[in-house]
Amino acid sequence: MKWIAKTARLIHIHFTLAKYGLDKFVWHNPLFSKVNILIIFFPWRWFSKGEMPDGEAIRLALTELGPIFVKFGQILSTRRDLLPDDVANELAKLQDNVPPFSGELAKKMVEKSLSAPIETLFASFDITPFASASISQVHAATLHDGKEVVVKVLRPRIHAQIMRDVELMETFAGLLQHLMKGIRRLRPVEVVAEIKQTLIDELDLLREAANASQLRRNFTQDNSLYVPQIYWQLSRKNVLVSERVRGVPISDISTLKAKNTDLKRLAERGVEIFFTQVFRDCFFHADMHPGNIFVNIEDPANPQYMAVDFGIMGTLGPEDQRYLGENFLAFFKRDYRKVAELHVKSGWVPPNTPINAFESAIRTVCEPIFEKPLKDISFAQTLIRLFQTARRFDMQVQPQLLLLQKTLLNIEGLGRQLYPDLDLWQTAKPFLEKWMKKQYGPKAFLQQLWERLPLWSDKMPDLPEAVADIARFYQNEAHRLQFKSLPVTTHKKTPNVSRKILGASLLVCATLVGLASPYAEMIQQYSAWIFGIGIGLSVWMILR
């Protein structure tokens, strides 16, 4: 019976597009050029709402089609360099202006989830929502201690609606991957699976609360980003209560300018926050559209970002983080050879990729974008050209990096609005260089040893016996070789073997004991010198 539901949904999608006059974009596609005469036989075209501006038609159609389509419109609204102004302005209304559901219904859902009357839970609760999004809506409330909070409530039956459209996407992705060999490189099935998991996570408000708590903890000592406090005792899977933050919407450029906000600093800080989340914490806000970002301008010269809506967060594994950081840094240094080699090393392109040709292709795409202000650079166009180039080298889409790419595009959109002359490269390069040095220098090496010390300390009692076993093994080997070579040669080998074992053992033991000692902090401070001297002494003892 599922195929019947999917067919009905397809018909509904086409009916909605036709109603707003948008099916013309489908039927005028070259793929349907030979059969587009058939559209006159579709009865739902007879119910068209008539001519209206494309931007308004697109916004209304996406709103009517549901949450997944609204999400798509929200992403597009941040890419003003890709859209006409009228369309971009209309789609911007999707950020926080989706039609709300009944406030009375929201109140009943809160009371049912928290098992108490609304008057018991809050000193006041505003029935009229002040923000409404594709998956939830937000009501203002006040706690009995006078603190202002916001109450986020999931839309009723939202889970069933999203799963219906996701199943449709899965069917399309499977068909595309099976029927079109050229599109397999884009891995549509894996990409849809990533989108599905992201949406499922967004439907659990307790997960969002945990995300907010983690991000707030990450920036406790950093005043560049403020994350509201979560009230766990009032939060459930479909209800989330958090501190209410008051700031200027980041899209309200006129107010920011009127308050003499340092827009250059604000734009640079946005880039720094992005790279801090990605490379310091491996945990980043992946839904940074203008509707979710506010600015605290109590100190206009030092503006502070204020984030809300933590339903979509991204994470990176250590390997992806390392390769990504090295790729960024190589790009900034215009070391296209290293970029090509890193793509092969990470498995993003096949191992037999011709490095020279790949390097040349990357240079051709990327070289023109350097030494230009942000207003003159289109990351969208650059990405399109990179995808076209990558197709020649069979580059695979990396689903785990989709959220990161989306967030980077959002950051570009914000930066373009705030300060078009922002030098994105100059802002990011020092941060990445510092990060690479911290991650992979001698001090980082000793820090990793320190972190592994508890595990190693459990095995320390067995170390002397293990060394003795190794010594006995090599001693037996030396006696065995005595019958195959001259006695004088064998006599010289045995002390050498002992020295090697002793030198290696001393190096390991000295490192462990040094890190465990009261002077560990001092040792780490002078790690480069100590590490070099230790290696030198050990090598001398092993080889002498």
> Does residue 337 form part of some domain?
yes
Residues 472 and 362 grouped into a single domain: no
**Cβ atoms within 10 A of the Cβ of 177, count?**
17
Residue finishing a domain among 440, 465, 499: 440
Site of tokens 């080997």: 477
| Strand pairing report for 293-296 and 239-243 | unpaired
DSSP per position, 243-264: E----EETT-HHHHHHTT--HH
Strands across the sheet containing 225-226: 225-226, 304-307, 293-296, 248-249
Q: For residue 188, is it within any domain?
A: yes
Determine the pLDDT at residue 150. 97
287 included as an active-site residue: yes
pLDDT digits (tens, 9 = 90+) for 315-352: 888 778 888 888 878 877 889 899 889 888 888 788 88
Marked catalytic residue, from 23, 96, 165, 287: 287
Specify whether 76 is located in the same domain as 87.
yes
Burial class (CB in 10 A: 0-12, 13-18, 19+), 490: middle
Shared domain check, 165 and 87: no
Residue 433 pLDDT:
79
Rounded CA gap, 365 and 370, in Å? 11
Tokens of 275: 């790279």
The strand pair at 283-285 and 136-142 is best described as unpaired
167 close to 6: Cβ distance less than 8 angstroms: yes
DSSP secondary structure code for residue 305 in this structure: E
Q: For the segment 354-408, what is each residue's pLDDT rounded down to a tens digit?
A: 999 989 988 888 887 766 665 676 665 666 566 667 667 877 666 556 677 777 7
Q: What are phi and psi of 243, to 5 degrees?
A: -55, 140
On whether residue 495 sits in a domain, the answer given is yes
Same domain, 16 and 88: yes
Q: Are residues 471 and 448 in the same domain?
A: yes
Q: Where is the domain boundary, 67, 92, 117? A: 92
Confirm whether 309 is domain-assigned.
no
Q: Are residues 427 and 474 in the same domain?
A: no
Per the domain annotation, does 143 fall within a domain? no
Domain ranges, residue 65: 2-92
| Same domain assignment for residues 397 and 480 | no
- Using an 8 Å Cβ cutoff, are 135 and 154 in contact? yes
Written as one letter, the residue type at 439 is Q
Measure the CA–CA gap between 458 and 315, rounded to whole angstroms: 32
Instruction: Please report whether residue 187 resides in a domain.
Output: yes
Examine residue 280 and state whether it is found in any structural domain, yes or no: no
CB 249 within 8 A of CB 290: yes
Determine the Cα–Cα distance for residues 534 and 345; give it in Å rounded to an integer.
Answer: 32
Of 180, 453, 185, 214, nearest in space to 313 by CA? 214
Same domain, 429 and 336: yes
Q: Are residues 436 and 336 in the same domain?
A: yes
Shared-domain flag, residues 387 and 465: no
Tell me whether residue 13 is in a domain. yes
Distances (CA, A) of 271 to 74, 241, 257, 307: 21, 29, 20, 14
pLDDT recorded at residue 169? 75
Q: Please indicate, yes or no, whether residues 414 and 319 belong to a single structural domain of this protein.
A: yes
Residue 373 is predicted with a pLDDT of 66
What is the model's pLDDT at position 212? Answer: 96
C-alpha–C-alpha distance, residues 206 and 215, integer Å: 14
Q: Are residues 320 and 431 in the same domain?
A: yes
Report the domain count for the chain. 4
What is the Cβ-side half-sphere exposure of residue 398, based on CA atoms within 13 angstroms? 19
Alpha-carbon dihedral angle through residues 172, 173, 174, 180, given to the nearest 10 degrees: 100
End position of a domain, from candidates 389, 412, 440: 440
Low-confidence ranges of the chain (pLDDT < 50): 31, 35, 486, 488-494, 511-529, 531, 535, 538-543
